[in-house]
Amino acid sequence: MRQLVIVIAFVALAVLLLSVGIILRKDHSFRSQHVSENPRMKQNDIHCATSQDKEARRNSERKININKL
């Protein structure tokens, strides 16, 4: 029982410490976590996998004509 109380106390402390950054944030907004909106990724011309796949399909020479199906 004592170990359970200690574990719960550690988890509560961890949650409290992680929430301090959220509570004290001045502008109350978070940076986007999307890859294509990261400035360093834009410099290296890196996009998210979905965007890269869409671009590759658009530029593909083997397009499927759905009217012929």
SS3 state at 25:
coil
Domain count, the chain: 1
Distance CA 5, CA 8 (A): 5
Residue 49 lies in domain? 33-58
What tokens does 26 get? 């001045």
Q: Which residue has the higher pLDDT, 41 or 69?
A: 41
Phi then psi dihedrals of residue 60, to 5 deg: -70, 145
The answer to whether residue 48 sits within a structural domain is yes
- Average pLDDT for 35-56: 80
The answer to whether residue 38 sits within a structural domain is yes
Instruction: Give the model confidence (pLDDT) of 7-43 as tens digits.
Output: 999 999 999 998 887 778 777 667 777 777 788 888 8
Chain-centre distance for alpha carbon 10: 27
The answer to whether residue 39 sits within a structural domain is yes
> Structure pTM?
0.41
The answer to whether residue 10 sits within a structural domain is no
The answer to whether residue 19 sits within a structural domain is no
